[in-house]
Structure 1
Amino acid sequence: MAASATPRTGKAVAVAFSGGLDSTALLHATARAAEGTRVVALHVHHGLQPQANDWAAHCERVARECAAGFACTRLSGAPGRGDSIEAWAREGRHLALHDMAIAAGADLLLLAHHRQDQAETFLLQAMRGAGTAGLSGMPRAQWRDGLCWARPWLDRPRELIRAYAQQHALSWIEDPSNADARYARNRLRQTLWPAFPAAEAGLAQAARWAQQVEALAAEVAAEDLARLSTPERLDLVALAGLSPARASNALRAWLAPHTVAPTSLVERLLTEWQPGSTLSWPAPGGELHAYRDGLYWAAEALRPPPPAILDLRRPGLHPQPGWGGAWLVEPASRGIAADRLVQLTQRSRAGGERFQRAPASVPRSLKKASQEAGLPPWRRAGPLLFDAQERLIAVAGLGLDARAFADQDEPQLSLRWLEDSALTQSEGEGGTAA
């Protein structure tokens, strides 16, 4: 029985090693199949059992017998009052495993989950009313933060793993908490599998079908969103033209980069919005706004940074931490003279500012100018730029004030505000603040 996955770079293979039956067999099989690749066993000391120190020592000894490296991290802190011990341990374990794998030079982390684990995950998610993403259970392989989390035995029955361990006379830890009926997964193991031993294969297969359905839904959503949206705006009129299931699927996909949207929020968005209406819905981490038949995401507003002095005379991208965007300065045939951008004051609205959209237009209040430009209310907080004489130069979302335009015979620069969501990692940085 072999661990079939191999590391992408060949530096090292890490194995999550609790010392139990499954991870002991996986470490042994991986070490045998390594063929010159360094193997390192990663143990997380949760500090929840009185035998935890002995378990760590056992794991180090077994790793040495397998000619594998060993690393151990003890979790600090404890679950808060009312918090799930399982959730606390899982979150801490995942972080510790990631950090230890990266420190060991591994880009592949093997986990010993098997078919029964997958079947249990499917059933627990179904009882919680999960959708296809939850019913899909655990993926066979997934890249996260520079590390591939792989489960090479996900389709293998546990009986086969036990037979391998017995064949090679392996020794492993029996964690007494695995018999604690307070935990839902343990109750399943104590009641379901003895009563329905054939259910494991069927439930694991159902998880594989759910994975296919989820992949298909993602493909359909990608096709729909290519027509219906930009990273900043979702066309609600076009969304309403889809079937209810397809609209819900596309909406969830558009929301995914911004927030974890509960089912109730998706249903409210699809039923409460009417063409032409202006509505807002609170969501985890921010708010959703329906404005001029488009849906927009706004992250939780932070207190605007204090006024700052900027030098924007050099073309390029000038990020503004705290404001959620950057000023983009570029050469232009119609813009502002570079020497007026040497000492600018950046601040939020104070009230009473007036903006002139074009040379022949009349200066209007920022509220009126924003309405005319179609700038949504939640994007009207600034920042604003003023020159050394406190004359308004530019407003985020509106652009240059026409009164700042240079004479035609002067070298000129344009000034444009870009939200963080519109920026890409490939764009350069520049600018200074004092």
Structure 2
Amino acid sequence: MGAVDEHGGQAIAVAYSGGRDSTALLHATAVAALEQPGLRVVALHVHHGLSAHADQWLAHAQAQCEAWAAQGLPVSLVWRRLKLNQNPGDSVEALAREGRYRALTEMAQEVGADTVLLAHHRRDQAETFLLQALRGSGIAGLSAMPSTVDRHGICWARPWLAHPRRAIEAYVAQHGLSHVEDDSNADPRFARNRVRLTVWPALASAFEQAEVSLAQSAARAADARACLDDWLAQSLAPLLVPGRADALSAPALLALPLPHQRELLRHWFTTCTDRHLPASSVARLTQELPALVDTGRSIQWRAGAFDVCLYRGVLICRPAALARQSPGDDVCPTVLLNIDRPGRYALPQWGGELVVSVVDQGGVALSRLAHVEIRARQGGEDFQLGPGRPSRALRKQFQSQAVPEWERAGPLVFARDQLVFARGLGVDARALAAPGEPQVTLIWVPNLTI
């Protein structure tokens, strides 16, 4: 049920906002833990900083947990303050949700809990189904919230997902539990609030069983999704480029019926990015791919925070942030670097790092890297692929080795004005160390954090 924590017992965590539902769940879990000696309950509280009352909610959570602990319940509190970096056009709801789950994950790992309980109930599930339907979601969205899901080594469980809201209200009243009221729940800017405050009362009045029926529909969609996921996993495997789980053969995809193409594109994108491919991107890709594959063109499409790129009939995904550097750009400055040992050399100006690793052959002498320059492509650079082979323009070498445009992005490494390393090609043959000489190889690793 839980993992061994720093106190020597088992720990189970509860996401605790201080509101009615999470208060009831935390109390019920702590009471149940009394029957399992050694089991500790850890309340995880996230301070979003979005409300003027956030400090008061934290104080309430601290006081509540201390009071319960004084009564003998095996409960304690840990909390984390969020800092939301909002850019124009960003959804506050989405940012807060992503930040909350990230904070909950970190806190659960810190206290050694491998299970986090969430207080969502049947009304929440019905509302989620309705919201997803209004957004035009497919089977994945209509499945709403799973009762259990494993992410980052943690089981996220919703034990009350089949329970009606009134049962939780009754539990709170029975035990005289105090809780906070989130003022943002009345803010009509948030879609869920508009459904909850305006749509739901009318819906429940017209259809008495709306909560039960919509939750049942979500459960049936979840069953269908499980079957679909199995089919997608089996069908996607033959379409992938051998050795590349992130590279999809466009011709192989186009050989399938159009509905299959759309579902496989969505599944592939989610597998690569852990994001959903926007409906507009699905439509554009399936419409434009046939002509592009026939003509052999290369292109990239923006899909939210990622780009979907086509090169020589192969599709890959990459963070859109990596698209900013192209030959001739002066965004990233020349950097002087002293590489004196194996390791990772961060280059924040370039959005990544050079990884230097010891090799037995095919590398460059470490001594040659004592004073190197990290530069952008300016045009006119040449590169030698192997000993005895002619040096050719860097652009032509990229083409001859079928290096996609997105894998050419990154710095060039020069030592005494001689090109030593280029991403996608490796170490220049003219810089190779002599046999038996201590040597290293270089790898450029872009920063993929979005």
2:261 alignment partner, SS class = helix
Q: Which residue of 1 aligns with 2:24?
A: 25
Does the CA contact (< 8 Å) of 2:18 and 2:179 recur in 1? Answer: yes
Name the % identity: 38
**1:266 and 2:282 are equivalent in the alignment:** yes
Q: Which residue of 2 aligns with 1:427?
A: none
What is the distance in 1 between the residues matched to 2:438 and 2:62? 68
2:233 alignment partner, SS class = helix
Q: Does the C-alpha gap of structure 1 residues 373 and 220 become closer, same or farther in structure 2, counting only changes over 3 Å? A: same
Q: Which residue, 375, 381, 393 being the options, matches 1:353?
A: 381
**1:39 and 2:41 are equivalent in the alignment:** yes
**1:226 and 2:237 are equivalent in the alignment:** yes
Q: Does the C-alpha gap of structure 1 residues 216 and 378 become closer, same or farther in structure 2, counting only changes over 3 Å? A: same
What is the distance in 1 between the residues matched to 2:395 and 2:119? 59
Q: Which residue, 60, 65, 74 being the options, matches 2:63?
A: 60
Query: After the TM superposition, which residues 180-199 of structure 1 pair with which residues of structure 2 at under 5 Å, given as runs?
Result: 180=186, 182=188, 183-184=193-194, 185-199=196-210
1:370 alignment partner, SS class = helix
Deviation (angstroms), 1:57: 4.0
Deviation (angstroms), 1:293: 0.7
Query: After the TM superposition, which residues 1-400 of structure 1 pair with which residues of structure 2 at under 5 Å, given as runs?
Result: 6-9=1-4, 11-34=10-33, 35-36=36-37, 37-42=39-44, 48=51, 53=56, 57=60, 60-61=63-64, 64-65=67-68, 67=73, 68-70=75-77, 90=97, 94=101, 106-144=113-151, 147-166=154-173, 168-173=174-179, 175=181, 180=186, 182=188, 183-184=193-194, 185-229=196-240, 230-256=244-270, 257-258=272-273, 260-273=276-289, 274=291, 275=293, 276-299=296-319, 300=321, 301=324, 303-304=331-332, 306-311=334-339, 321=347, 322=350, 323=352, 326-332=355-361, 340-341=368-369, 343-388=371-416, 390-400=417-427
Of the structure 1 ranges 253-262 and 204-213, higher mean CA displacement relative to structure 2 is found in: 253-262
**1:403 and 2:403 are equivalent in the alignment:** no
2:282 alignment partner, SS class = helix
Does the CA contact (< 8 Å) of 1:24 and 1:170 recur in 2? Answer: no
In structure 1, stretches of 5+ residues that fail to align are: 1-5, 423-434
What is the distance in 2 between the residues matched to 1:214 and 1:64? 44
What is the number of residues matched between the two proteins? 411
Does the CA contact (< 8 Å) of 2:414 and 2:421 recur in 1? Answer: yes
What is the distance in 2 between the residues matched to 1:216 and 1:164? 37
Q: TM-score under structure 1 normalisation?
A: 0.77
What is the distance in 2 between the residues matched to 1:363 and 1:82? 48
Does the CA contact (< 8 Å) of 2:51 and 2:184 recur in 1? Answer: no
Deviation (angstroms), 1:367: 1.5
2:360 alignment partner, SS class = strand
What is the distance in 1 between the residues matched to 2:31 and 2:111? 19
1:355 alignment partner, SS class = strand
Q: Does the C-alpha gap of structure 1 residues 266 and 225 become closer, same or farther in structure 2, counting only changes over 3 Å? A: same
Deviation (angstroms), 1:61: 4.3
Amino acid in the other structure paired with 1:69 = S
Q: Does the C-alpha gap of structure 1 residues 245 and 187 become closer, same or farther in structure 2, counting only changes over 3 Å? A: same
1:112 alignment partner, SS class = coil
Could you report, residue by residue, the CA deviation over 1:233-254 in whole angstroms, capped at 9, with x for unpaired residues?
2211111122222222222233
Deviation (angstroms), 1:289: 2.2
Q: TM-score under structure 2 normalisation?
A: 0.75
1:27 alignment partner, SS class = helix
What is the distance in 1 between the residues matched to 2:226 and 2:421? 45
2:163 alignment partner, SS class = coil
Deviation (angstroms), 1:128: 1.4
In structure 2, stretches of 5+ residues that fail to align are: 326-330
Structure number with bigger Rg: 1
Amino acid in the other structure paired with 1:254 = W
Give RMSD over aligned pairs.
Answer: 4.1
Deviation (angstroms), 1:64: 2.2
Of the structure 1 ranges 392-401 and 290-299, higher mean CA displacement relative to structure 2 is found in: 392-401
